[in-house]
């Protein structure tokens, strides 16, 4: 049986690296990438486009062993992360949730049903350590933090449901670390380790390879260590 890996957000810094590393690894017979520039195009704000991409992936005739969601946005429409409550804007807040939480939730809605009923498979989505409530000591970045915390809850809840029908499937949130991409540009502080996209992709895929069904619903960093909620 042909094995298939799917990468959403495949045109982004991390997503394109994930796709490239997967294609060279030989872990899967076929790697499919979806993004705003793919055919069909993937738009996180348009459920119809997500449904169409999932339908195409499901029509390959192969077994989908991995869905890696590399979507997400820190800045939207030129707005930068908030430093205080005074800067909260309802439109920016709603858009951050739409892109960072609702969009990935819809990906789970349409792609998790494609995972096989038996045998190990993985759905992994990029979250962020700043989405951890337990690890939040600096404050600020309200919209991004809250949207990623929401994503973490959605992942955990989906994993509970997934386990009922597909006990060997894994659904997790991953923190990639700071990666040299447009998303992180201007926010990498002095002394912070910044990874190149391919290095990050290799680390994340190493984590994915080592995940067990008992870890489904978890939140892990690029070394495979658990991040507090």
Radius of gyration of the chain (CA): 17
Which listed residue (28, 83, 109, 148) is catalytic? Answer: 148
Q: Which residue has the higher pLDDT, 195 or 8?
A: 8
Cα end-to-end distance, the chain, whole Å = 38
198 pLDDT band, cuts 50/70/90, is very high
At 165 the pLDDT is 98
**What does DSSP assign to residue 224?**
S
The answer, yes or no, to whether residue 193 has pLDDT greater than 90, is no
CATH (residue range 3-220): 3.40.50.720
Q: What separation in angstroms does the CA of 129 have from each of 17, 171, 177, 226, 229?
A: 20, 17, 8, 10, 9
**144 is annotated as an active-site residue:** yes
Q: Which residue has the higher pLDDT, 184 or 198?
A: 198
**CA torsion sign, 140 to 141 to 147 to 150?**
negative
76 pLDDT band, cuts 50/70/90, is confident
- DSSP-assigned beta bridge partners for residue 5: 31, 66
5 CB-side CA count, 13 A = 26
**148 is annotated as an active-site residue:** yes
193 neighbors 177 (Cβ within 8 angstroms): yes
Question: How large a percentage of the chain has pLDDT more than 90?
Answer: 90
Closest among 90, 37, 206, 192 to 184, alpha carbons compared: 192
Task: Give the CA diameter of the chain.
Answer: 56
Which listed residue (142, 144, 166, 189) is catalytic? Answer: 144
- DSSP-assigned beta bridge partners for residue 125: 69, 173
């Amino acid at each position: 049986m042909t094995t298939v890996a799917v990468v959403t957000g495949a045109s982004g810094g991390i997503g394109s690296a994930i796709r490239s590393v997967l294609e060279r690894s030989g872990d899967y017979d076929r790697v499919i990438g979806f993004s705003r520039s793919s055919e069909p195009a993937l738009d996180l704000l348009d459920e119809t486009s997500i449904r169409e991409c999932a339908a195409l992936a499901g029509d390959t005739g192969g077994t989908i062993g991995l869905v890696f969601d590399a979507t997400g946005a820190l800045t939207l429409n030129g707005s930068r992360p908030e430093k205080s409550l005074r800067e909260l804007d309802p439109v920016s807040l709603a858009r951050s949730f739409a892109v960072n939480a609702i969009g990935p939730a819809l990906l789970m809605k349409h792609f998790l049903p494609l995972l096989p009923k038996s045998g190990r498979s993985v759905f992994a989505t990029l979250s962020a350590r700043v989405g951890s409530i337990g690890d939040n000591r600096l404050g600020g970045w309200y919209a991004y933090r809250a949207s990623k915390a929401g994503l973490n809850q959605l992942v955990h809840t989906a994993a509970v449901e997934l386990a009922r029908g597909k006990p060997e499937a894994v659904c997790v949130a991953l923190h990639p670390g700071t990666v040299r991409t447009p998303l992180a540009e201007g926010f990498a502080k002095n002394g912070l380790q910044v990874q190149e996209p391919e290095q990050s992709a290799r680390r994340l895929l190493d984590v994915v390879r080592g995940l067990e069904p008992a870890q489904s619903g978890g939140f892990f960093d690029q070394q495979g260590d658990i991040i507090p909620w």
